Structure 1
Amino acid sequence: MTDHDDHVAGRARWATSPRGPLALVNAQHVDHVQPVWPVPGTWAPAAGGLTVTAAAEDGVVVDGVPVDGEVLVAGDQAVVPSTVAFPDGFAGTVSGGMLRVWDPASEAITRFAAIARFDRSDAWVTSGRYKPVDGLEARGSVLDAAGDPLEVAGHIETAFGSTAVRLVAVRSAPFQGSARLQLIVQDATSALPEDNPGSTYSMGRFLYLDDLGAAAEVVLDWNLLVLPPCAFSYQFACPIPPEENRIPVAITAGERHPVDTTGHVFH
């Protein structure tokens, strides 16, 4: 199996995993005492996460201990985030005042067939030049899906034929212990599928590459363009590609849309 085959198989496993985007059935901000569908308990904001109030018969388990009363559920910024289990296989995670509810047997997982993609082509492996920015410039003008600024790491200059572009690269979370950069891009294929049979997800796609930490020549394998989580579930918000990353070229490479067992695009 080639590295690209591994990449394709890994993406399908991620999409349908118990914490993959198809398993997320609710993402609810908790800013006052309230229930959260479809799980038991009453939830409330708290320093460091959320609290849940439940009776023993509700079957809520936090950090391996059944809840009978009020318990703090530590968020993902804690040294040790809490694990939450509910009846019927549901699970919960807390992030930024939000309770995410995951169903590893969700309806979306059962009808998922594949991530539609363009055929791989060496023609879409190109070169570019990465130039990091200094500290003040790096404070960020790119927003994530929650509206929070992302750290701009630098710019990548590359070209598609005669079309030269200067793309904004943001700093991504480490992957397998290595620092990496993220390009949030739209291109001429970014359109609703009913408007364009050769389309990709209208809100854009992501390309990741190693963060070398200094100016360097880089390889851009556009075959590795991936869909954001919001392409799989309305429970995710989408980051908006910065103006510089709206590429006026059709990049017919990488992932296009998630499709179900009838061949229809998820949304």
Structure 2
Amino acid sequence: MSAYEDHVASRERWATGPRGPLALVNAQRVDHAQPVWPVPGQWAPAPGGLSVTASAADGVVVDGVPVDGTVLVAGDEAVVASTVTFPDGFAGSVSAGTLRVWDPSSESIARFAGIARFDRSADWVTSGRYTPVTGLEAQGVVLDAAGAPLEVAGHIETAFGSTSVRLVAVRSAAFRGAARLQLIVQDTTSALPEEDPGSTYSMGRFLYLDDPGTDPSAGADVELDWNLLVLPPCAFSYQFACPIPPEDNHVPVPITAGERHPVDTAGHVFH
């Protein structure tokens, strides 16, 4: 299997995995004591995460121990986040005061057919020049899906034919032990599918690349394989919010490469 074929297969596995975007059936902010659909228990804010109150008959299990009373569910920001399971295969996780509920047998997984993508082309493997930034330049011009600022790593200058762009790159979580940069981009294919049958997801796509890790006074040449453009989680589920591409990353040309839309068994775009 080629590296590209492995990439495609891993993306399909991610989409339908037990913690993939199609398995997320609810993401509910808990700011007072309340139930959370579709799982048992009474949930409430607590230092370091959420608390859950349940009886043994409810079948809530936190960190391997059945709940019979009230216990803390540590959030993702804790040193060790809690694991939560419910009856019928449901699982939960807590992040920033929100309970996410995952169903590995969700209706969305059952009707998912695949990720529509453009054919791979060597013409969409281009070069760019990365220049890192420091200090105030690294703050606040890119927001994540929750509206929090992302750390800007630097800028990447590249060209699409005669069109030159200077893209904002943010730091991403490490992947397989390697530091990465992330580009959040929109281009002229970013449109609603009913308005443009050749469209890609309207809110934009992501491109990841290895972080060159260069000195701020220098820079580095980077390879940009636009065939590896991927859809954000929000393309698969309304339970996710979408990050907003910075103005510099609105590319004024069509990038006919990478992933386009998730599609169902009837050939329809998910949303």
Structure 2 gaps, min length 5: none
Letter in 1 for 2:251: I
Distance 1:47 1:131 in 2: 40
Which moves more between the two structures, 228-237 or 207-216?
A: 207-216
Per-residue displacement from partner, 1:53-103 (whole Å, max 9, x unpaired)? 001100000000000000000000111100000000000000000000000
User: What secondary structure is seen at the aligned counterpart in 2 of 1:82?
Assistant: coil
Q: Distance in 2 between matches of 1:227 and 1:120?
A: 16
Q: Does 1:8 align with 2:42?
A: no
1:175-221 deviation digits (Å, cap 9, x = unpaired): 11111000000001000001111100000000000111112000000
Residues 1:255 and 2:263 are matched in the alignment: no
Number of corresponding residues: 267
1:167 counterpart SS class: strand
Amino acid of the structure 2 residue aligned with 1:173: A
SS in structure 2 at match of 1:6: helix
Q: What is aligned with 2:220?
A: 216
- Partners of 2:252 and 2:10 in 1: how far apart? 30
Aligned pairs for 1:167-182 within 5 A: 167-182=167-182
One-letter code of the match for 1:76?
A: D
- 2:30 paired residue number: 30
CA-CA distance at 1:135 after TM superposition: 2.0
1:92 maps to 92
Task: Give the secondary-structure state (helix, strand or coil) at the position aligned to 1:234.
Answer: coil
Percent identity reads 82
Question: Aligned to 2:159, what secondary structure does the other structure show?
Answer: strand
- Which one-letter code corresponds to 2:242 in the other structure? C
TM-score of the aligned structures, taking structure 1 as reference length: 0.99
Q: Classify the secondary structure of the residue corresponding to 2:80.
A: coil
2:229 to 207, 225, 230: 225
Per-residue CA shift, 1:9-67, capped at 9, x if unaligned?
A: 00000000000000000000001101000000000001100000001100000000000
Whole-angstrom CA distance in 1 between matches of 2:9 and 2:135? 38
Matches within 5 A, 1:110-149: 110-149=110-149
Aligned runs of 1:196-207 on 2, under 5 Å?
A: 196-207=196-207
> Distance in 2 between the 1:225 and 1:123 partners?
14
Residues 91-118 of structure 1 show CA distances to partners (whole Å, capped at 9, x for unaligned) of 0000000000000000000000000000
**For residue 236 of structure 1, what is the amino acid of its counterpart?**
F
For 2:17, the equivalent position in structure 1 comes to 17
CA distance in 2, matches of 1:77, 1:135: 25
Does 2:244 match 1:240?
yes
Partner Cα separation in structure 1 for residue 204 and residue 238 of structure 2? 15
What amino acid is aligned across from residue 79 of structure 2 in structure 1?
V
Separation in 2 of the partners of 1:134 and 1:91? Answer: 40
TM-score in terms of structure 2 length: 0.98
CA distance in 2, matches of 1:157, 1:137: 16
Q: Distance in 2 between matches of 1:44 and 1:140?
A: 31
Within the alignment, does 1:150 sit opposite 2:150 as a pair?
yes
- In structure 1, the partner of 2:71 is 71
Tell me, in whole angstroms, the C-alpha distance in 2 between the residues paired with 1:107 and 1:26: 13
